[in-house]
Every structure is written in structure tokens, then in C-alpha cells.
């Protein structure tokens, strides 16, 4: 069996559900089974491994030049509930494939290589990218649910803060991942070289009207909060499309009071989430939404920011190394932004990062239907390996 697919199936079959999907939540027994399987492969390849309190696995392959800064690679081993085989585990498998090959080919790199399998990348009460944020020293000790949730997992806040890595000896971080969208497949392109990871800006929008009898209140006298919200959502969707530049908008979670079939809604709240690599476009969209609220007569609006997660820009030199490696293999590639968050986002706060995408069939992810053809899986691993060799010659 081809190398990366074999590794992927070895480390990522844990938590398989009857419907063919996978569930490996952070700190779950299934997560640690996957971690142990990855650890075994890395140890068998002769690497020293260690785990930290955040649930991250680290493996080190020393280079020949102690002064050369380390090259880091990896991704995450947790999944969403009922997730797929590839999301996260693929990047870990591709990184393991690289160090296995270096060892088998008895090739000593100048740079020390570190492989990471992160915990808790997917959304949880501890926040997304939990493990990589702990490594990058981005854990916020004042996060409201942190202490209680950690105690539930038998961990303490201080232990997580102590997971912070000193990045002064690190050169860069490389992550391979499935695209989780359908662009590569639709464009007939084999690889995506990621230009940056989108920001996540989330607001809670509240519309207030007047609750009243659904039968006796004439249409002209209504202050219907649901209608007000509906108009604003339709406006925001159209404004987002008009701005373009890969900007996306989601009105994902809506609540209505009193939520009864025969009552004019008095209050509606809805999350407005927008993402882009360039903050100027998410700023522009919220400004337009803000202005539109003044023009909708059916309700009064308030807008409260819930989350602002900054975007990360990928390093041009590292992107070029991916491009060269892809070209050397005759693979087709395109530069594209990542709409999803990734561990690379956390690490980008400390050192230059780059990401390589392989196609997701039908653009499906976070589902048991997630699928990438084996050829694409291997191609991504091969390009990562060649990139590693390229960077070993290039960077200090």
C-alpha cells in the first residue's frame, strides 16, 4: 500500500462510527489511541517522542548542524463529532511519511525536523486550535470556560500555560491538509498552495420588535423582529457577494422569542460570521450591515462582536519552496486562501508558516463522506518531502 495512505489508516481508524464517520474529541480515549499509534510509528522510525499536558505529541529527528533552526511539520489528530478520515490526521501522516523516508534512505538533514500531532484543533469548550495555541503560548488564562473544562479533563491551567514552546530555535512550520472545499477539484488542479488563513469575525445581531397577537395585529402595525432579521440577512448575503475577494458570510444560528406560531416575534438574535484573509473586506461588510440596520423599519438592531480571530499570512519563501517541489513533480497547483482555521494559524504567531492543500472530493469535509483519492494523498506527501529537502538546502 502506498506510504501515506498506509500511515493514515494506521493512525486515524480510531473512533470509527457504524456509519463510517470518525469521532475523536479532544482528550478522548479514541484521540489518545490515535496519538499512541502515531507515537509508535515515530519511535519505530527512531525518533524521540514526548507528550505535553495539552495532549500534543512531538517527535524530534536531530539534524547534523546544531546551529540550524528546526523545521516543524504536522497537524491535528482530533476530529469533529462524526468527522472524516482525512481532516487533520492527513497532515500528521504526511509528516510521519517524511521522517520515515529520511530514515530509510539514511539521509541526514542539516536541520532538526520536528513532527507535531496536535490536540483539540476542532471547536470545543476550550476554543479551536487548543493544542497549537498552547504550544505557541496563546492560551488565554482568563477564557471563561478554561479552568472548569480543563479540570473536567484532569488538567490545570498552569500545566497548559507551561506547554508554551520557546520558538527561538525554530525556522518554520509546514502543514498539509485536505482543502475541505471543492475549488481544487472543480478547477482540475492537484494542489493548493495556501496564501493565508482567513480571519474569523463573529457578531451577535439582535433585532427587537414588538410581540403581539398573530391574528389581530394588522400588517401595517407590526414590529416584527423576525422580518427585520430576515431582511438584514438577505442584505448581508448580497453585500458579501458584491464585495467579492473570497469574502464569505454565514448567518448560522438564529433564535426567536417567544418562538410561537401565533405570535409576532418580539426579539430575534442571529450570529453573523464573516471570514477573509484581508481584514479590510470583513470590516467593509460589517460597516455596510451596520448602515443597513438604519434603513430596515421592522425592528431596532444592536450588533455585538463575539469573536475576532486574526488572519495569518503564509510566508512567500516557504510558498515558493512548495511551488518548486510541486513543479519538480510535474504537479499542477494554484495559490488559494484557506477559509477554514488551522493549527498553522497559531504557529504563525511565532514563526513563518506555509500550508499545502490536496483536493476534497465534492468539497465535503467534517463528515463521514470526506474523501480524497489515494493518488492525491500520496502526491501531497511527496511534495512535502521534496519541500523539506529544498528548505534544508535553502534556509539557515
Q: Which residues bind Zn ion (CB under 5 A)?
A: 87-88
Rg (CA), the chain: 23
- Among residues 292, 211, 201, which one has the least CA distance to residue 248? 201
| Angle between helices 374-394 and 316-328 in degrees, nearest 10 | 120
Query: Are 11 and 34 contacting, i.e. CB atoms less than 8 angstroms apart?
Result: yes
59 Cβ contact list (under 8 Å, min separation 6): 39, 42, 43, 47, 48, 49, 50, 99, 114, 115
Q: Which residue is nearest to Zn ion (CB)?
A: 88
Question: Distance between CA atoms of 328 and 44, rounded to whole angstroms?
Answer: 30
Q: What is the closest distance, in whole angstroms, from the C-beta atom of residue 122 to Zn ion in the complex?
A: 7
Least distance from Zn ion to the Cβ atom of residue 332, Å: 23
Query: Euclidean distance between the first and final Cα of the chain, in Å?
Result: 36
Q: Whole-number minimum distance, CB 93 to Zn ion, in Å?
A: 13
Asked whether the CA dihedral 328, 117, 310, 185 is positive or negative, the reply is positive
Give the residue from 78, 167, 80, 200 showing the smallest Cα distance to 347: 167
**What are the two backbone dihedrals, phi and then psi, of residue 301, each rounded to the nearest 5 degrees?**
-110, 145
Pick between residue 87 and residue 345 the one whose CB is nearest to Zn ion.
87
User: From the CB of 340, what's the least distance to Zn ion, in Å?
Assistant: 7
Q: C-beta of 89: minimal distance to Zn ion in Å?
A: 9
Q: How far is the CB of 127 from Zn ion (least distance, A)?
A: 15
Residue among 62 and 182 whose Cβ is closer to Zn ion: 182
Locus of grid cell 493514515: 8
Q: Which C-beta is closer to Zn ion: that of 266 or that of 368? A: 368
Closer to Zn ion at the Cβ: 345 or 390? 345
Residues 6+ apart with CB under 8 A from 317: 352, 394, 395
Question: Which lies closer to Zn ion via its Cβ, residue 88 or residue 299?
Answer: 88
The kind and range of the H/E element at 197 are strand 191-197
Give least dist CB 131 to Zn ion, A: 12
CB of 43 to Zn ion, least distance (A): 24
Residue 224 or 345 with smaller CB distance to Zn ion: 345
Nearer to Zn ion, 87 or 323 (CB): 87
- Nearest to residue 376, comparing CAs of 191, 137, 232? 191
Considering the complex, state which of residue 138 and residue 162 has its C-beta at the smaller distance from Zn ion: 138
Amino acid at each position: 500500500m502506498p506510504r501515506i495512505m498506509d500511515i493514515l489508516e494506521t493512525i486515524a481508524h480510531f473512533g470509527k462510527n457504524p456509519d463510517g464517520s470518525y469521532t475523536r474529541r479532544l482528550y478522548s480515549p479514541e484521540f489518545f489511541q490515535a496519538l499512541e499509534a502515531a507515537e509508535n510509528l515515530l519511535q519505530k522510525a527512531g525518533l524521540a517522542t514526548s507528550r505535553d499536558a495539552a495532549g500534543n505529541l512531538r517527535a524530534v529527528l536531530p539534524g547534523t548542524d546544531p546551529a540550524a533552526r528546526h523545521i516543524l511539520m504536522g497537524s491535528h489528530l482530533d476530529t469533529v463529532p462524526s468527522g472524516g478520515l482525512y481532516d487533520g490526521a492527513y497532515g500528521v501522516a504526511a509528516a510521519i511519511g517524511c521522517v520515515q523516508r529520511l530514515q530509510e534512505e539514511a539521509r541526514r538533514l542539516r536541520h532538526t525536523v520536528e513532527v507535531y500531532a496536535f490536540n483539540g484543533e476542532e471547536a470545543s469548550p476550550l476554543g479551536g486550535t487548543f493544542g497549537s495555541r498552547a504550544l505557541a503560548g496563546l492560551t488565554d488564562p482568563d477564557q471563561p470556560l478554561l479552568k472548569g473544562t480543563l479540570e473536567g479533563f484532569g488538567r490545570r491551567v498552569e500545566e497548559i500555560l507551561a506547554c508554551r514552546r520557546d520558538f527561538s530555535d525554530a525556522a518554520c512550520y509546514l502543514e498539509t491538509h485536505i482543502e475541505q472545499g471543492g475549488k481544487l477539484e472543480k478547477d482540475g488542479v492537484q494542489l493548493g498552495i495556501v496564501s493565508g488563513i482567513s480571519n474569523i469575525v463573529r457578531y451577535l445581531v439582535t433585532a427587537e420588535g414588538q410581540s403581539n397577537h398573530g391574528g389581530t395585529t394588522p400588517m401595517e402595525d407590526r414590529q416584527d423582529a423576525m422580518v427585520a432579521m430576515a431582511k438584514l440577512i438577505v442584505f448581508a448575503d448580497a453585500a458579501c457577494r458584491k464585495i467579492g475577494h473570497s469574502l464569505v458570510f454565514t448567518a448560522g444560528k438564529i433564535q426567536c422569542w417567544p418562538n410561537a406560531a401565533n405570535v409576532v416575534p418580539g426579539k430575534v438574535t442571529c450570529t453573523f460570521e464573516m471570514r477573509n484573509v484581508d481584514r479590510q473586506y470583513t470590516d467593509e461588510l460589517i460597516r455596510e450591515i451596520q448602515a443597513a440596520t438604519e434603513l430596515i423599519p421592522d425592528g431596532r438592531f444592536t450588533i455585538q462582536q463575539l469573536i475576532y480571530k486574526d488572519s495569518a499570512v503564509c510566508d512567500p519563501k516557504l510558498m515558493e519552496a512548495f511551488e518548486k517541489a510541486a513543479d519538480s513533480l510535474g504537479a499542477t497547483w494554484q495559490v488559494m486562501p484557506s477559509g477554514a482555521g488551522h493549527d498553522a494559524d497559531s504557529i504563525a504567531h511565532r514563526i513563518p508558516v506555509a500550508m499545502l492543500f490536496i483536493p476534497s472530493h465534492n468539497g465535503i469535509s467534517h463528515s463521514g463522506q470526506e474523501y480524497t483519492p489515494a493518488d492525491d494523498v500520496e502526491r501531497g506527501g511527496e511534495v512535502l518531502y521534496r519541500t523539506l529537502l529544498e528548505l534544508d538546502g535553502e534556509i539557515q
